[in-house]
Amino acid sequence: MHGYLSEFLSYELLFAHLNATCVKLQRHGARFPTIGAAAKMATAILNAQQAIAYLDPAFEFIKDWEYDLGYDDLINYGAAQSFETGEETYKRYSTLVSQDNVPFVRASDGTRVVLSATDGFEYASSGIFIPSAPLLISESGNDTLDDKMCPNAGDSDAQTEQWQDVFAPTIVERFQKVLPGSTLTNADIPNLIALCAFDTLYKEVQSPWCGLFTLEDYWDYEYYGALDKYYNTGYA
């Protein structure tokens, strides 16, 4: 229920006849927030910390909370995901690989993307088959793997803000009852919900932020994420 932050789900249908050729499109493993998202989360935390009292014990941790996540890079969980997908690929298609026919990797030049693309397969084969040096494509140039490359790329601000103003006010109101003096806004709510996922996966223990939101809140955030991806990086 964390939208695009959720784990991937394996597709059940496998392709039986590959004719000795396999092309795999893979996204990088779990990462820290982007630098822009990290800044928004930090701002939301500061707004919550303007509270002059914490009237619910579940919210008391906020008083001394410090944002300690990095940005952009893979986290340990993401590295494990990359290993698992590399292992799965190796098990399925190892008959297509030899010392003279190692996987060829084309990737955007972000560190997390390169590591996700190469390390999993190498580790899964016990270092026997190391993908050739990847062809790295600069995200500042003509890179079809970058979601901002197209000059006609969409913008989801209008759609996400419209939905945000539907579901976030009740959450802000609920928080302000137990955080009097806080300066939370509607825009802070999606960032705090996202913090639940990022903080949990990085520290590998459920974040205290997660317990502040209801099941309905998470479903609302799921739709928020769907709107963002559909209108921002989809084909709308």
Per-residue pLDDT of the chain (236 residues; tens, 9 = 90+): 556 666 656 655 555 554 556 677 777 788 899 999 999 999 999 999 999 999 999 999 999 999 999 988 888 888 888 888 878 877 887 788 777 877 777 777 667 677 666 666 666 677 777 666 667 777 677 766 666 677 777 789 999 999 999 999 999 999 999 999 999 999 999 999 999 999 999 999 999 999 999 999 999 999 999 999 889 887 65
| Cα 189 to Cα 127, 184, 220, distances in angstroms | 45, 8, 11
Q: What is the pTM of this model?
A: 0.79
Quickly list DSSP for 146-170: STT-STT----HHHHHHHHHHHHHH
**Number of structural domains the chain divides into:** 1
What domain range is 197 assigned to? Answer: 3-232
Contact (CB, 8 A) for 194 and 218: no
Told to judge if 28 belongs to the known catalytic residues of this protein, a careful annotator would answer: yes
Identify which of 44, 40, 67 has the alpha carbon closest to the alpha carbon of residue 182: 44
What is the CATH number for 148?
3.40.50.1240
d(CA 156, CA 60): 34
* DSSP three-state, residue 69: coil
Contact 227, 156 (CB under 8 A): yes
* Catalytic pick among 3, 5, 28, 47: 28
Residues belonging to the chain: 236
